[in-house]
Structure 1
Amino acid sequence: MQAKWDTQSRLLLIVYGLFACANACSGTFVNVFLWKLKPDYALIGWFALVQQLSLGAIFMFGGKWVKEYNKMNCLRLGIILAGVFYAVVLLLGKQAVHWIWLLGLLLGAAMGAFWLAFNVVYFEVTDADNRDRFNGWVGLIGSASTMVAPWLAGLLIASFGETGYTFMFTASLVIFTCGVVLSFWLKKRPPGQAYVWSIPLKLWQNRSSPWHTTCRALAAQGLRDGAYSFLISLLVFVATTNELKLGTYTLISSIAALLSYYAVGRWLKWNYRANGMIVGAVAMALAIIPLFVRVDYHSLLAFGIGMALTSPLFIIPMTSVTFDLMGQSEQAVNNRVELTVLREFGLLAGRMVSIVAFIIIMSWSTSIQTIVVFLAVIGCMPVISALMMRKLVRQQK
């Protein structure tokens, strides 16, 4: 199945950019908003866990819809649900903290529907020759979105106080609406064969399948991503109690990520993938060192810049290699939706373990030192992923 870099690829990137921008505008501050209503690490952990459960349910049951019917409607549903989430937050206001389960379910369903469809369409509009380039652009656009939007949102909150949150969530709602409208210019993708529910489980259990190793590597990656996805920005706010500083933190780290994604996406070639993953994973783990000295705005900023500069070396090859497995044979291409679901469940397993571990640890100790040690441990997990995938990358080469 040969794909090319065409108008549909670019349009898909624009829709992704709008989705990323709207999420960056408000998503950075949702946990801060809830924290200000009730400063409880475990509560934020439960909010994240419910999101992952909802996301997993959408992937499990949405795979059949995406493969046999209209995957573009699933993409639009994700954007619409994200807009509904922020509309509900606006309606609930300060009562939102009492509706954590509903909000988590909504946001998780939105992320699940969007990413399920996006990952399948992404595979269909790219091939092995341009996949690194496309991943580089995804990272570039994501970094650009998270570079400006959170800083403007932080400035808005700093200027208008609590009313700034209302303006910010409303802006996200408008951007999501634009994304839905633009998505109608994406061509309807032809449906595939019948969805086979047993394929993900069989491939995971088959030790001779490359997916057995890949799923374990993805789970190790998910162990880091689970708590990192919400805890870092929350730590910045706890250390500064200033939304503008959080926005500035995101701006600076995103500039670093943008430059790194551009460089890695442009120059990282096949023969450097394996070593690049190892170097990136180790460097990501070492980025935590400043937090062992002290936990303040400047050390967190050093940590954020370090992660931003080094993570593309790991993420781009990891993503490309995983999706290349879907194109190894005609059968794999036909089962791309099932393989997309399998990929997500590998990540999901790691993320859920990470978040549950965080909730348990926070019931024992909420000290900053405990949190830093926890971040250091799960921050080393991508090294395990890279080591697992290294042999597979060389075999593909």
Structure 2
Amino acid sequence: MKKWKDPLLLLLGIGVSNIGGWIYLIALNLIVLDEWESPMAVVMLYVLKPGAALLTNGWAGSVIDRVNKRNLMAFLDFFRAVLIAGLPFLSTGWWMYAVVLFINMGSAIFYPASMTYITNLIPAGNRQRFNALRGLIGSGAFLIGPGVAGLMFMMGTPTIALYLNALALLLSGVITLFLPKLEEGERTYTSGTKWEVVKSDWMVVWSFSRRRAYVMVLYVLFTAMLVMTAVIDSLEAAFSKEVLYLSDSTYGYLVSIAGGGFVLGSLLNTAFSHKLKHMTLMGAGSVVVSLGYIVYACSYDFVTIAIGFALLSFALAFATTGFETFYQEHIPVDIMGRVGSLYGLLEGVLVILLTVVIGIGAEAWSIRGAVAGGSILMLLLTLVLYFCLKKNSWEKQLKNIQNVIINKKHTHTRGFEDEVDSGSVLGQMGRTDEQGRSEL
């Protein structure tokens, strides 16, 4: 039980933060809609999330891999808490969108930082179970958060809910500070201006991507599936109300069914995590998610769309656990922040572009046609991912990478940068960026 003390403490912080996140999302939507009385004003909030990724992910990885992750996570919790607490005073002007953008930028940095910290904290044999528990907590927050938000609205106003979210983030930050300050590993050699450091880090990621192309192909294929879920979900409300003519309350039931499916999937995933391979979860889970979207796109009544929602959310719990474990097992921890951030930048660009494309398709063609087209594209992507994962040659290559990562840890090499050609920028650098390595 002692070895799980720190992981359970980390899960507690994640759970508190996730519940607060759902309260914040619902409260902010209602505040903006009441203030501006325009659905477009609410849509702008969702555009800010990928926009924040575009502004931060190009350089965030360079920071993440050079600072103490625990302190960075706690700082980001406190930073977002202060900004959220200030939102009620800015709800009448465009300044509110600027503050929300900074909140989203903090969240964009937090995710890759937390993934790197988790990889360092959790032994390889326990990561899949930890990720399953993390998914279970996320699904619980999906059900608890909106309920708490509704209770806050009954007792007062959405503003109170925002303050509650700020308090949740403060508590999460305090919990994070009780976690161990892990070793940062070998120093990263850099020189020149900060722009040169960032550019050299891009070269590290590019070199890794070329040398380990099979890993990154799998990574990109799964990320493309996640992008398609976000793109199709942008038409979810319009499809439910304008195509199937569901009422607001019936649409609310659909959201609850999706949450229930995710909870059930997370429970089973946690129970059988020791028996399931993460590659199987990642491949088969992705295909079932896309099949759920196909059922959703072809539905003509509440029952069929409910089946589609339950199926896709159930499978998503398995797929995301498999992907997170894959990410932790096959990306070297010393460059994990940079890889996650730069590929997150690609994800943000794709979300924005494809959301615009599917929106235009819904206007020019039909909402059902746009949703069906997106679902078919997702199915094709996940089938390619599945068959790639089934090939023995890929499995052997991935095992070889794991062995390389393990050997590098035992031999105390300087990190992945040593694999870059000696004639490259990194090979010519000769001093350590002490300021980049300093703790927050």
The alignment partner of 2:182 has SS state of coil
| 1:292 corresponding residue in structure 2 | 298
Cα-to-partner distance string for 1:131-169 (whole Å, 9 max, x where unaligned): 110110100111111111112323544x46xx5322222
Q: What amino acid does structure 2 have at the position aligned with 1:194? A: T
Cα-to-partner distance string for 1:53-89 (whole Å, 9 max, x where unaligned): 4235434433333333322221023212332443343
Q: 1:124 to 1:130 in 2, by over 3 A?
A: same
Q: CA deviation at 1:204?
A: 2.1
Q: Does 1:167 align with 2:179?
A: no
Q: Does 1:223 align with 2:222?
A: no
TM value normalised by structure 1: 0.80
- Which moved further from structure 2: 113-122 or 186-195? 186-195
**Distance in 1 between the 2:12 and 2:351 partners?**
32
Q: 1:141 to 1:394 in 2, by over 3 A?
A: farther
66, 69, 80: which one aligns with 1:68: 66
102, 108, 113: which one aligns with 2:109: 113
**Distance in 2 between the 1:187 and 1:172 partners?**
25
Q: Does 1:124 align with 2:120?
A: yes
The alignment partner of 2:60 has SS state of helix
TM value normalised by structure 2: 0.73
- Which moved further from structure 2: 354-363 or 176-185? 354-363
The alignment partner of 1:187 has SS state of coil
Alignment of 1:38-49 (within 5 A): 39-40=38-39, 47-49=45-47
Cα-to-partner distance string for 1:90-122 (whole Å, 9 max, x where unaligned): 2222x36x4575145213212123213211110
Is the 1:59–1:113 Cα contact (8 Å) retained in structure 2? yes
- Which moved further from structure 2: 109-118 or 131-140? 109-118
Q: CA deviation at 1:233?
A: 6.7
Q: Larger Cα Rg: Structure 1 or Structure 2?
A: 2
**Distance in 2 between the 1:91 and 1:237 partners?**
34
- Which moved further from structure 2: 27-36 or 75-84? 27-36
CA RMSD of aligned residues (A): 3.4
The alignment partner of 1:108 has SS state of helix
- Which structure 1 residue ranges, 5 or more long, are not aligned? 327-331
| 2:80 corresponding residue in structure 1 | 82
Q: Does 1:9 align with 2:7?
A: yes
Alignment of 1:1-397 (within 5 A): 5-28=3-26, 30-31=28-29, 33-34=31-32, 37=36, 39-40=38-39, 47-93=45-91, 95=92, 98-99=94-95, 101-157=97-153, 159=154, 164-192=157-185, 193-194=187-188, 197=201, 198-206=203-211, 208-227=212-231, 232=236, 242=248, 249-268=254-273, 272-288=277-293, 289-294=295-300, 301-326=306-331, 332=332, 336-363=333-360, 365-366=362-363, 368-373=367-372, 375-377=374-376, 379-380=378-379, 381-391=381-391, 392-393=394-395, 395-396=397-398
Q: 1:374 to 1:5 in 2, by over 3 A?
A: farther
Is the 1:51–1:108 Cα contact (8 Å) retained in structure 2? yes
**Distance in 1 between the 2:307 and 2:389 partners?**
29
Cα-to-partner distance string for 1:8-60 (whole Å, 9 max, x where unaligned): 2111111111111110222245446545635446x656543432242354344
**Distance in 2 between the 1:357 and 1:347 partners?**
15
**Distance in 1 between the 2:24 and 2:252 partners?**
11
**Distance in 2 between the 1:249 and 1:282 partners?**
21
Q: CA deviation at 1:130?
A: 0.8
Is the 1:151–1:251 Cα contact (8 Å) retained in structure 2? no
Is the 1:277–1:314 Cα contact (8 Å) retained in structure 2? yes
**Distance in 2 between the 1:299 and 1:216 partners?**
31
Q: 1:11 to 1:273 in 2, by over 3 A?
A: closer
- Which structure 2 residue ranges, 5 or more long, are not aligned? 190-199, 400-440
Is the 1:28–1:233 Cα contact (8 Å) retained in structure 2? no
**Distance in 2 between the 1:240 and 1:58 partners?**
39
Q: What amino acid does structure 2 have at the position aligned with 1:92? A: L
The alignment partner of 2:124 has SS state of coil
The alignment partner of 1:194 has SS state of coil
Q: What amino acid does structure 1 have at the position aligned with 2:159? A: T
Question: How many percent of aligned residue pairs carry the same amino acid?
Answer: 15
**Distance in 1 between the 2:82 and 2:252 partners?**
24
The alignment partner of 2:122 has SS state of coil
**Distance in 2 between the 1:32 and 1:234 partners?**
18
Is the 2:65–2:337 Cα contact (8 Å) retained in structure 1? no
Q: 1:215 to 1:371 in 2, by over 3 A?
A: same
- Which moved further from structure 2: 224-233 or 121-130? 224-233
**Distance in 1 between the 2:69 and 2:240 partners?**
38
Q: 1:122 to 1:179 in 2, by over 3 A?
A: same
Cα-to-partner distance string for 1:299-325 (whole Å, 9 max, x where unaligned): 654433222211123221122112101
Q: 1:324 to 1:169 in 2, by over 3 A?
A: same
